[in-house]
Amino acid sequence: MTRMLRTRAVHRGDEGAAMLLVLGVTAIISILAVTLGSLSLNNLTNTIRDKQSGSAFATSEAGVAAAIERIRSGLLPLSSLTCLEPASALTPLPASCTGATMSWTSATNPMQVPIDGSAGPCVASQTCYKVWIGAVTPYNPPNTKVGSYRIHSKGVFGNGPAARTVVVDLSVKPDPYPVGVYGDRITGNGGTRILNESLFARDCVSPRKENSSGSGGGTSFVGDDVYWDQPAAAHSTEGISTSNNCGNDGRLHKTLNCDGNLVLKNDQTKDGGPVSSGVCFRTHTRGNGTFYPDALPTEGCTPRADGLCDSTSFTIKDLQRYGYRPRGLSDAQYDALRARAKQTNTYNQPATALAGRLSAALAAGIIQPVVYVDCSATTLCSSGKFDLRAGDFPNEFKQPPDPSNARCAAGAQPVVTFVLEHGNLNFSGGNSEWLDAAFFVPDGQWRGDGGYNVLGTLFANDVSLGGNETFQLDKCFVRDIPSPLLEAKVVGFREDDTRDVT
């Protein structure tokens, strides 16, 4: 009996220990459960925060993309980007960096854009970006042909707490093409005058007028090229003739006859060569200190410090220095211009419809639109030819040149980019009417009829200069060279969460 009681007593002691063990295990499991729950909650919170942060970063990049697109579309011309960097280091900020309303150029009141497409500034619970653009080195030809700009973009997820700021450095320059009047072949028996720009050709230029006054007798040149900073002149990889059809009266600018005609002293051809004295030697000093005429080194010349020679020669490699490539622009660039024309409903439209379509684009803030005609994709080209008049354009695109540059103060200049592919373009206008445009006819002939005046540039496979017409550039045009022709390249990227955007 006593042994049984003792055994039962031991058993009762074991039962207490088991209870303690169960309670301990339960407590440990509870602690682990709480810990695991806390970890899961923290991980979930961190995941949400990471997602919000990633969304804010993506939103800030969307702001950068929007700013670049506005520059390239013409909604934000380079001349409007006047806030000089580093704006954050200037006290007080100049008026060009501030504004009472939201602006793409204001460091204190940047543009705010909700990504849901709603209008107005960002509000609570909205995901949006806040962007402004500063100018490091403004585009300002002829001295600065490559502009440097800085985009500050802050992406905000749900108006906080997640926010990411990026700063992007942007290099902007025109797509390479010979800014001026270009034709593989150039003919014309009228009295074409080319003022403040240059003419480029791969074939013989004729007739070249031997003086710069009066009308008739061929093409004449007046003034200095405001984009290339050199005298307005003819440049041919073949020859230049003062007679019709490139007659044998002399391919001008052979080294030996350079001094023969003072009006022709600035022309360049394949028959030119090194010069070290006389009227063809260093006829112009550019703003950067280099001299014109110059060319890539050839036999018999001593290269200057800039790697070029004092020379009246002109080869295909020299033409490429001015941005030449077949068809003027690349296929990808023509595709981009075609897409822009489709956006403004100015693709493959009859000439009579252009005034209304372009006026609508201007009303939408697109002051540098694209008109695109593809003769291979429309019936508008009769026998492969499209007829166009200066009167087909709104008055905003008919501003005459302004030698005083006062017109630049009015803001960005309305300019149309006109492309005609796979056909010929006939252009006519009134004797006193101007058209502000950059023309591209890469596959066919540009034919000028009657008297007309173009403030702008021309690239065509064949240029026929009939009648009495004028091509001219001024400072305002080159400052606001058509935005759709700009090449914008990101050259720097960093994240900055300090005070770039408020």
Does 240 share its domain with 341? yes
Residue 147's Cα: distance from chain center in Å? 10
Q: Where are the beta strands (DSSP E) in 15-146?
A: 111-114, 128-137
CA atoms of 432 and 118, how far apart (whole Å): 46
Number of Cβ within a 10 Å radius of residue 300: 11
Give a yes or no: residue 282 inside a domain.
Answer: no
Number of domains into which the chain is organized:
2
Q: How far apart are CA 396 and CA 358, in angstroms?
A: 10
In tens digits, the chain (502 residues) has pLDDT values of 454 445 455 555 566 676 666 666 676 676 666 565 555 545 444 444 445 566 778 888 888 999 999 888 888 888 889 899 887 666 778 888 888 789 998 988 999 988 877 877 888 778 888 999 999 999 999 999 999 999 999 888 875 667 888 899 999 999 999 999 999 988 766 778 899 999 999 998 888 887 655 455 788 899 999 999 999 999 999 888 877 777 655 455 444 446 556 778 899 988 888 988 888 899 999 999 999 999 999 878 889 999 999 999 999 999 999 999 999 999 999 999 999 999 999 999 999 999 999 999 999 989 999 999 999 999 999 999 999 999 999 999 999 998 888 888 777 889 999 999 999 999 987 777 899 999 999 999 999 887 789 999 999 999 988 778 899 999 999 999 999 999 999 999 888 765 444 4
Q: Which domain holds residue 375?
A: 181-251+327-485
Domain presence at residue 365: yes
CA atoms within a 13 Å half-sphere pointing along the CA-CB vector of 377: 9
Residue 448: the pLDDT is: 86
Say if residues 194 and 465 touch (Cβ distance below 8 Å): no
Q: Determine, yes or no, domain membership for 318.
A: no
The pLDDT, as a whole number, for residue 66 is 92
Q: From the DSSP assignment, how many helices (H) and strands (E) are in the chain? A: 5, 23
Q: Residue 44 domain-assigned?
A: no
Same domain for 386 and 442?
Answer: yes
Q: 393 with 468, same domain?
A: yes
Assigned domain for 27 exists: no
Residue 288 corresponds to which tokens in the numbers above? 């950067």
From the CB of residue 130, how many other CB atoms can be counted at a distance below 10 Å? 24
Q: Does 135 share its domain with 207? A: no
User: What pLDDT is stored for residue 490 in this prediction?
Assistant: 94
Cβ(302)–Cβ(291) below 8 Å: no
pTM comes to: 0.85
Report the candidate in 146, 150, 59, 140 with the shortest Cα–Cα distance to residue 107.
Answer: 150
Domain check: are 356 and 436 in the same one? yes
Q: Among 199, 233, 182, 194, which residue's Cα sits nearest to residue 440?
A: 182
AA letter at 323 = G
pLDDT score of 252: 53
According to the model, what pLDDT value does residue 43 have? Answer: 46
Same structural domain, 394 and 427: yes
Indicate the burial class of 381 (C-beta count within 10 angstroms; 0-12, 13-18, 19 or more): buried
Residue 58: the pLDDT is 84
Q: Are residues 466 and 343 in the same domain?
A: yes
Residue 276, in any domain of the structure: no
Same domain, 238 and 370: yes
| DSSP state, residue 351 | G
Residues 197 and 159 in one domain: no
The answer to whether residues 218 and 98 belong to one domain is no
pLDDT in the model for residue 502: 41
User: Within this chain, do residues 221 and 157 fall inside the same structural domain, yes or no?
Assistant: no
Q: Which residue type is seen at 326?
A: P
On whether the CB atoms of residues 275 and 281 are closer than 8 A, the answer is yes
Say if residue 154 is in the same domain as residue 212.
Answer: no
In order, the DSSP letters of 224-254 are: EETTTTEE--EEESS-B-SSGGG-TT--S--
Q: What is the DSSP letter of 14?
A: H
145 occurs within a structural domain: yes
252 Cβ contact list (under 8 Å, min separation 6): 208, 239, 240, 241, 242, 261, 264, 267, 269, 271
Pseudo-torsion of CA 81, 176, 237, 261, nearest 10°?
0
Q: Is 342 inside a domain boundary?
A: yes
- List for the chain the helix, strand, coil content (%; round to 5): 30, 30, 40
